[in-house]
Amino acid sequence: MHLRFYNHERILGSGPNATVVYSVQRTTSSSVSGFGNVYVYDNLLRAGVETDSPIIGRNQGMGVGSSMAENSGLTNFQLVFTVGEYNGSSLALQGLFPVAPLGTLFERAITGGTGKFRLARGYLLTTEVHSTNTTLTGQLDAYVTFR
């Protein structure tokens, strides 16, 4: 099964509407992935890249700056679906999030799920496709199998 959706993030430091915040800021690095930093997020999942496209769920999770070089962080998160065919279901994921230029493709593991995604396995390909001073939008392509 292949699913495509878009993660709409209000980036760290973008004011009171930020959807990414530090829970522990161990370093004063300019990168959220500063070694030892812990951050949490609750981003919108939308059907499209446009900011007015339908909301289909949330990307809720946490990350830890796990690289001494401050070029990546370890993420653990849930894609929680709130409408449509997958309403009430979620995918569990984990993996590295690189600090990389817009357009870089990276992969994380689908480690499980709930509801219609029970016993899910697979991978998620992410490409950051749009950014502003306060937002970051990523294209998420989930490739899901079931055991």
Residue among 83, 84, 82, 79 at smallest CA distance from 123 = 79
Residue 67 and residue 33 in contact, taking contact as beta carbons nearer than 8 Å: yes
Residue 124 and residue 5 in contact, taking contact as beta carbons nearer than 8 Å: no
**What is the rounded distance in angstroms from the CA atom of residue 54 to the CA atom of residue 47?**
6
pTM of the model: 0.92
pLDDT (tens digit per residue) in 42-101: 999 999 999 999 999 999 999 999 888 878 899 999 999 999 999 999 999 999 999 888
Predicted pLDDT of residue 70? 75
Give me the mean pLDDT over the 3-12 stretch. Answer: 93
Q: At residue 27, does pLDDT exceed 70?
A: no
SS3 116: helix
